[in-house]
Copies of this chain bind each other. A is one copy, B any other.
């Protein structure tokens, strides 16, 4: 057997660098961090690189942003390249370890514009972050965007907390819904790709 490929790579779109250039390296409040996530999420679907989702990894204490991620499933051709996985992988290779909760490292958090899908929920669990900060959870995301988030357990937040990952909810929730609504309008108007699930 000769391997056709020996791995894969995930790159942020070039526009991300431009979008964050004027943003300070340190965002002291969670609202500031989430506001950046919302900006990236909204631009991402408009650029056609993937769904209306973005994330970032920050040091909880200082607010220093370690990485940002957007959903690049369409741009990368890799179905796991959701915003959370991209932000976490980028942060981990930047700091040089798979464990963002390693001893002697500042506490890290993942900031996302909705409760993660089942894949990214697991990715959060294994990443070492000490907190998951979401704009919201509930059926609105699936209703507005028609993305399937997968079979989640009712006790998803308790299961995170039981593993030492704090869950912070409802940070700029309405602004998240604004992004999803704008995306839905565009999907209805143009038939833009809603990709993830096989529909049976």
Question: Footprint of B on A, CB under 8 Å?
Answer: 1-12, 16-17, 20-21, 23-25, 65-68, 73-74, 76-81, 85-86, 88-94, 96-99, 101, 117-123, 125-128, 130, 148, 150-153, 155-156, 159, 162-165, 195-200
Chain B residues whose C-beta falls within 8 Å of the C-beta of A93 in the assembled complex: 5, 8-9, 76-78
Main secondary structure on chain A at its contact with chain B?
Answer: loop
Q: Do A125 and B74 touch (CB < 8 A)? A: no
State the oligomeric state as a number of copies: 2
* A127, closest chain B residue (CB): B79
Q: Do A163 and B198 touch (CB < 8 A)? A: yes
* Apart from A3-B67, A5-B93, A79-B99, 20 more pairs, CB < 8 Å: A3-B68, A4-B66, A7-B12, A8-B86, A8-B89, A8-B93, A73-B126, A77-B92, A77-B96, A78-B93, A79-B92, A79-B127, A80-B89, A101-B198, A117-B122, A119-B121, A122-B122, A122-B150, A152-B153, A163-B197
